[in-house]
Amino acid sequence: MWPRSFEQPDVRPDEERSLRPFICLSAGLLALWLTLTWSLDPQEVATGLVVSLVVASVARSAVHSVTGCPGSILRRVAWSLAYIPYLLRAIIAANIDVARRVVNPALPIRPGIVKVRTNLESPLGRLFLTSSITLTPGTLTVETSGRELYIHWIDVEADGIEEASERIVRGFERYLERIFG
Q: Which of 11, 37, 43, 48 is nearest to 123 (CA)?
A: 11
Contact characters 59-98, other proteins, x per CB under 8 A: -----------------------------x--xx--x--x
Smallest gap from residue 17 Cβ to other proteins (A)? 29
Among 7, 16, 121, 159, contact with other proteins (rule: CB under 8 A): 159
Helices (H), ranges, 104-145: 123-135
Identify which range of 18-26, 40-48, 60-68, 138-146 contacts other proteins by CB under 8 A.
138-146
Say how far apart CA 79 and CA 63 lie, in whole Å.
Answer: 22
CA atoms of 125 and 131, how far apart (whole Å) = 10
Query: Does residue number 134 form part of the binding site for other proteins (CB under 8 A)?
Result: yes
Among candidate residues 25, 81, 83, 80, the one with its CA nearest the CA of residue 57: 25
Indicate which single residue of 70, 140, 167, 178 sits in contact with other proteins (rule: CB under 8 A). 140
114/120 with CB nearer other proteins: 114
